Amino acid sequence: MQTVIDSVSMLHLTRPPKRFNKSKRGTSARENRLGEPLRLKKITLALDASLGLVSEWEKTCGPDIKVLVAHWGEQGGIILIHNPRNPRLAIARRLQILGFGKDTIDKLILRIALGTKDRIIVSDDSDFWDPKKPHDNRVKGDPNAPVALLCKEELGVTILLLGMLIDKLK
C-alpha cells in the first residue's frame, strides 16, 4: 500500500509507546510501529524526490526521522515521486473554495499521493477533512467530510486517520 503520511501523523506513528517515553531505547524503539509493516511490504511510504516532506517531518518529529527514512529506504520501504502532479485546475479551485490548500505542505502531500498507485493520505489535519471546522473532531475520519469526499470522488485519493491506517495494516 503506497501511502503519504503527514508530519503530525508521522510523529504519532514513530513516537514510542507511553511506557517507553523515559527509556533510552531511542530510534529502534521509535521504529517499531512502522518498521514491521515496512519490512513486510504491507506499506511503502511515498515521498517527493526533493524530500520536502522529509524536511517537514524533521521539523515536527526531530532530526532522528532522517535516520529512520534512510533505514526504511534501505529496506525498500520508500518510493520517490518525481515531479508530483497537480490536480486539474477545476478540482484545485473546488478544493480552494472548501478551504484546502492554504498550507503548501498540504498541497505537496496531495500532489505526492496523485503520483502513487494506491493514492492514500494519512492525516489528522482538518484541512484534509473540513478546513472550515478546524476544531470539530467529529469530521475527522468521516469519508463524507467535504475535502475527503472531493478527493475520493474526483481524484481517487483516500484520506485516512492514523488509526484507520493501523487497522488496514493488521
**What's the CATH number where 59 sits?**
3.40.50.1010
- State pLDDT tens for residues 19-71: 544 444 444 444 557 778 888 889 999 999 999 999 999 999 999 899 999 99
The residue assigned the cell 487497522 is: 167
| Buried/exposed 35-67: b ≥16 CB within 10 Å, e otherwise | bebbeeeebbbbbbeeebbbebbbeebeeebee
Q: How far is the CA of 26 from the CAs of 20, 38, 71, in angstroms?
A: 9, 19, 14
Total-model pTM: 0.89
Exposure of 100 in the CB half-sphere (CA atoms within 13 A): 26
Average pLDDT over residues 144-149: 97
What 3-state DSSP class applies to 42? coil
Q: How far is the CA of 61 from the CAs of 34, 50, 68, 118, 120, in angstroms?
A: 14, 19, 11, 25, 21
32: phi then psi, degrees, rounded to nearest 5: -55, -45
- State pLDDT tens for residues 104-125: 999 999 999 999 999 999 999 9
| Buried/exposed 138-160: b ≥16 CB within 10 Å, e otherwise | ebbbeeebbbbbbbeeebebbbb
Give 132's DSSP letter. Answer: T
pLDDT at 16: 66
- SS3 of the chain: helix, strand, coil, percent, to 5: 50, 10, 35
Structurally, the chain folds into a number of domains equal to 1
Q: What is the mean pLDDT of the chain?
A: 89
For residue 58, the enclosing domain spans 2-169
The residue assigned the cell 504519532 is: 12
